[in-house]
Amino acid sequence: MKVILLGTAAGGGFPQWNCACSQCTSDSPPRTQDSVAFSADGRTWHLLNASPDIRAQILATPALRAGPGPRETPLRTVLLTDAELDHALGLLMLREATALTVHAPAAALHALTDRFPARSIVGEYHDWTWRPATETTLDGLHITSFPVSDKQPKYARASTQPGPWVVAYRIHDPATGGTLVYAPCLRTWPSGFDGFTDGADLVLLDGTFYSATEFTTATESANPAAQQAMGHVPITTTLTTRPGTARWAYTHLNNTNPVVDPASPEHAAVLRAGAELPPDGTEFTL
């Protein structure tokens, strides 16, 4: 199985266009919004989340570019972890695709129909397939999902749809034995998640914040609960509690996170603990 990290930043990317903090005005390497491509054979590809940056990400990734026919594309499937705009807006950028299958939690599919009508907008162009995130097989790859949170997007906060609203994905390649776990949005470390990651070769984990007070400090917010409401467990918690011997890498990094600076002590601490902070474009073979 081939895995490409198309983007590794949280919503807004890094640097953010509306932020003049010391990090966003530094020379730290830029990161686009989080999305991953994976493939069993290097020819047919599937996406984990479709960020607003998906067009630029596809054009920057030769394996995902159109061809060999004038309107052919290797993309077949999008697996959404949730209905957050930074994970789903890319669907509108992909609207020219004649055939795509979108998997997402049932609550997220409802939000993308009722609250943010992505399904009806795309439907004006092509008739895609929309399915709840359940156990499935893509090109021989075995896909399972795991509920991790009931956090609703801001635009769907009044929804009464039952959760889960957010899931993680486990992708196993029987041909090679390789296994990827993708969990960019963890409000907590949920019960049973240890077992879900057990035996994985690579775990892409929520790295939005480094510490529990980072966002309020960086933004000079008077509301200490603001970061908690965003629903991301900090690296300082997961770095010391992650089980097993899998290869762990943090993704979905917020612009306030000091690890985006390769020269920061926080970046060094993550590497020293045995985890990774791969940049956009990093490729893995599992």
The 10s digit of each residue's pLDDT in 16-39 is 999 998 899 999 999 999 999 999
2-279 CATH choice from 3.30.1490.20, 3.40.50.920, 3.60.15.10, 3.40.50.300: 3.60.15.10
Question: What pLDDT score was predicted for residue 224?
Answer: 52
Tokens 């993309």 correspond to what residue? Answer: 75
For the chain, list residues with pLDDT below 50.
222, 225
d(CA 254, CA 8): 9
pLDDT tens sequence across 98-115: 999 999 999 999 999 999
Q: Parse the chain into domains and list their residue ranges.
A: 2-279
pLDDT of residue 228: 57
Structure-token pair, residue 154: 């801001």
Q: What is the pLDDT of residue 213?
A: 80
Whether the predicted model's global pTM rises above the 0.85 cut: yes
Amino acid at 262: P
136-138, strands of its sheet edge to edge: 136-138, 141-149, 166-172, 179-183, 202-206, 247-251
Beta strands in the chain (DSSP E): 2-7, 35-39, 45-48, 75-79, 101-104, 129-132, 136-138, 141-149, 166-172, 179-183, 202-206, 247-251, 283-285
> Using an 8 Å Cβ cutoff, are 238 and 189 in contact?
yes
Q: For 95, left (φ over 0), alpha (ψ -120 to 50), or beta? A: alpha
Distance (Å) of CA 73 to CA 52, 89, 100, 126, 127: 19, 19, 10, 15, 16
Q: What is the pLDDT of residue 241?
A: 77
Instruction: Return the number of other C-beta atoms located less than 10 Å from residue 269's C-beta.
Output: 16
